[in-house]
Structures are given as C-alpha cells and as structure tokens.
Amino acid sequence: MDELIAELQRLYLAGLAGAPAAALHTMLREEGGASIDLLGPDGTVRALVIELDSGLWTQAAQLYEGVQSELDLPAPAVSVSGGKAYGLWFSFAVAVPLSRAEAFAEGLRQRYLAELPPTRLTLHPRAPLQLVPTHLGDGRWSAFIDASLGSMFVDEPWLEMAPSPHKQAELLAGHASIKPDALERALGLLPAASAGAPAGAASADRQAPAVHHEPVGFLLAVMNDDSVETGLRIEAAKALLPYFRKALD
C-alpha cells in the first residue's frame, strides 16, 4: 500500500493538506468511496481528472490518444470508477492555478469531447474526487487499468475483487507529469475557453452545450443522452441504423 500511496502523492496529491500517508491509508481502506479535494490551500492543483460515462470508451480513447499524438503530452492514467464512469487522470509537474487547469480541461473538452452532452462527463478538480482504488460495495472496486483494456469495462466499469496495491502502483509508476512548457504549448494548440464559462463544473449549467456540425454527431448525442425522452432516443437510433450497417458491410 505504501508504494501506491507514494505514486498517488507523486502524481496528484503533493502539497494537499489533507493527504498525508496515514490519512490516505484510511481513506483507501474505507468502503463506500472516500473522496479528496484536489484544490490546495493556495488555490493551485496538481491534478486534472476527466470522468466520462462508461458507455463512452470510444470518446475516452480518442482523448487518451489525442493528447499524446497531437499535443505531445504524457498519457493520462485511466481508471474505472466502480460505478458508471471512466476517469482520465492528468498530472501537472508543477502546481498550477485552478483557472489554468480549468482552461486546459475546457480546451480538451472542446477539442475531443465537444459533441458529448454535458451531463455525460465531469471535469475535476473543482469537485471533490473519489480516490482510486476503493471498494464501493457489492463486490465492485474502482481501480486504475491498462488503457489497452478499456473497452472490456464498457458494461461493467469495475473490478470484482480488490486490485493489488502493488500492481496499481506499477501502473501509475509508468506515468509522467505534464511539465510547465508542455502545458503552455498544449494550451496554445487547444481552443480557448469561452469567457464566463470555466471548465471544471460538475453540473450541466456550468458547461456550454455541445455544438454539432453534422447530423450523425447530433443523432449520436441524442441517442446517448439519458436525459432525453426514451422515444426520441429510439428514433435517433433508428435514423443511425443505416450508418452502422454500412460500417459493418
């Protein structure tokens, strides 16, 4: 457990008053999912986590690959929540102001996730974050996973037994933090956040609605939005059938 906590502190929790090793030991062993506030006492953060509904692994993978191939950034760690979400964990080598982290999050959202309904993703660090790995009850564990296995967790985004702390630490040990110059370069390549609409909000009214530039993306958004009336989602799915059949031929 000590090596796992060391990796969590190295990547995400350094400088947080509420995250000494003893406290993390207790939080990780508690059932039900302990959470921690990523915002430091000086208003800076070392971590950014983007959570997407578990049915959105294709979009999560697109973000995961894009930040590496297009922005030349280290790969984020990937987790399954034990509930209904994937998490992509970004680490900053040097703590950055919350506003800077939110600008980065919003830029990533606009570039890679713009067509997702706001209700289907959550941007941290403004909201407290559930620690990983944690036992959520009913034999469900949140855990960090190998990103190449992400598609296996679409229907059941959890592990059915406690993950090995040693293996979890090994997964995190392979991840690096984003250096300040790399962050600034990435921000220059990403869309700028709209004034008055900061990223990091956990609720729909904190994020601008997705803008769709072609009908397939719009129909996919309607079909996947569980806040939309079921009948309309079914109609959207019917309209999309020809496209999926063509892709399979």
Which tokens in the block code for residue 217?
């993306």
pLDDT at 181 over 70: yes
| Sheet hosting strand 85-97, strand order edge to edge | 121-123, 44-53, 85-97, 77-80, 143-145
Percent of the chain at pLDDT exceeding 70: 74
pLDDT at 216: 59
Distance CA 17, CA 33 (A): 19
Global pTM reads 0.74
pLDDT digits (tens, 9 = 90+) for 107-163: 999 999 999 988 888 888 766 778 888 888 888 889 999 999 999 999 999 999 989
Residue 143 neighbours by CB distance under 10 Å: 24
pLDDT score recorded for residue 211: 43
Q: Is 128 helix (H, G, I), strand (E, B) or coil?
A: coil
Which tokens is 129 given?
A: 């974050």
Confidence of residue 35 (pLDDT cuts 50, 70, 90): confident
Helix axes 180-189, 98-112, angle to 10 degrees: 40
**pLDDT score at 172:** 97
Average pLDDT over residues 172-181: 97
Distance between CA atoms of 229 and 46, rounded to whole angstroms? 39
Mean pLDDT for the chain? Answer: 82
Spell 27-50 as b/e; 16+ CB within 10 A means b: bbeeeebbebbbbbeeebbbbbbb
Q: pLDDT digit string (tens) for 57-67?
A: 999 999 999 99
Q: Do 2 and 164 meet the contact criterion of CB atoms below 8 Å apart?
A: no
Q: Band of the pLDDT at 237, cuts 50, 70, 90?
A: confident
The alpha-carbon radius of gyration of the chain (Å, integer) is 18
**Tens of pLDDT along 199-230?**
444 333 333 344 444 465 567 667 766 666 78
**What is the rounded average pLDDT of the residues 37-48?**
89
* pLDDT at 235 (0 to 100): 79
The confidence score (pLDDT) of residue 239 equals: 80
Split at pLDDT 50, 70, 90, the class of 247 is very low
Residue keyed to tokens 């059932």: 31
Return the DSSP state at 23: H
pLDDT value for 127: 66
More confident residue, 179 or 139: 179
pLDDT-derived band of residue 16, with 50, 70 and 90 as boundaries?
confident
CATH of domain 2-209: 3.90.920
